[in-house]
Amino acid sequence: MNFAPQVSPNTPMLAADRFSDKQMAVMRATMRLVVVQGIHATPMSQIAKEAGVAAGTIYHYFTGKEELFAVLYGMLKEQMGAALLRDDDPRQPYNKRFQQFWRNLYRFFVEHPTEFEFLELCERSPIISEDIRAEHMRHYQPGLNFLNIGIKTRVLCDMPLDLMSATIYSSIATTVRYIRQRKEAQTLESNEEYTILNTAMQSCWNSVKWF
């Protein structure tokens, strides 16, 4: 069920553009409310109100609450995958590219705090089924390939691929959470973020580089 604007099937639209305004409004409202109140405490009626839409309208676009979450989760994962690859230059040395990827995800999360928190919530909640979760792993694939090359060429240490990717993701997420906390507490000096970011990135590189 998806009555979004159609284009030729050869130009794959991504993320946001695939959805109508109302659809996006509903999804954005969902994120905003859920990160503050939790899934268990945000009723569809409130989502509708926050989105400026009638309750029934949500059911025009989504079959129910579960699908709403799944579609939203998928959209965010796709955006993440796109952000990951930004400005990648394959001619650069391996660890430069690694740092580019790391920074890309970091920036995406820092610039999209609500999306970040919502994903963090979903990642560990049974509201997203294992199937949906596995399906959206594909957005990561280029990153996994990149890591795999590093392992094979002994630039990266001998660690199971999935463990390594999870480790790196954790490093980024942890850093983002830390920075956000410091920003909220307003204890972050002007260019301290830059220093911390570099320390965290270096630390992450040290944890996966060949040793």
Partner DNA sequence: TAATACAAATTGAACGTTCATTCGGTTGCA
Partner DNA sequence: TGCAACCGAATGAACGTTCAATTTGTATTA
3-class secondary-structure state, position 22? helix
R_g (Cα) of the chain, nearest Å: 19
* Of residues 62, 69, 107, 117, the one with CA closest to residue 87: 107
Binding site for DNA (CB under 7 A): 3, 20-22, 41-46, 52-61, 64-66
Query: In this structure, what token pair is assigned to residue 16?
Result: 């946001």
Please identify, using beta-carbon distances, which residue of 15 and 127 lies nearer to a second copy.
127
Partner from DNA, a second copy, none binding residue 121, C-beta < 5-8 Å depending on class: a second copy
Minimum distance from residue 188 beta carbon to DNA (Å): 36
Q: How many CB atoms lie within 10 A of CB 137?
A: 13
Q: Enter the tokens of residue 183.
A: 């920003």
Q: How far is the CB of 192 from a second copy (least distance, A)?
A: 9
* Token digits of residue 161: 């691929």
Nearest approach in angstroms of CB 75 to a second copy is 20
Q: Is 137 a binder of a second copy (CB under 8 A)?
A: no
Question: How many binding residues for a second copy (CB under 8 A)?
Answer: 41
Choose among a second copy, DNA, none what residue 206 binds, the Cβ cut-off being 5 to 8 Å by kind.
a second copy
Q: Does 175 bind a second copy (CB under 8 A)?
A: yes
Cβ 176 vs Cβ 103: under 8 Å: no
Of residues 200, 163, 209, 203, the one with CA closest to residue 178: 200
Instruction: By CB under 8 A, tell whether 7 contacts a second copy.
Output: no
List binders of a second copy among 145-164 (CB under 8 A).
Answer: 157-160, 162-163
Nearer to a second copy, 63 or 170 (CB): 170
What's the angle, vertex CA 124, arms to CA 172 and CA 61, rounded to 5? 105
CA angle 98, 131, 80 (to 5 degrees): 30
Neighbours of 76 (CB within 10 A): 22
Looking at the DSSP assignment, which residues form a beta bridge with residue 20? none
What is the nearest approach in angstroms of a second copy to the Cβ of residue 166? 5
Query: Based on CB atoms, which residue is closest to DNA, 7 or 149?
Result: 7
Q: What residue 30 binds from a second copy, DNA, none (CB within 5 to 8 A, per partner kind)?
A: none
Residues that bind a second copy (CB under 8 A): 35-41, 117, 120-121, 123-127, 157-160, 162-163, 166-167, 170-171, 173-175, 177-178, 181, 196, 199-200, 202-204, 206-208, 211
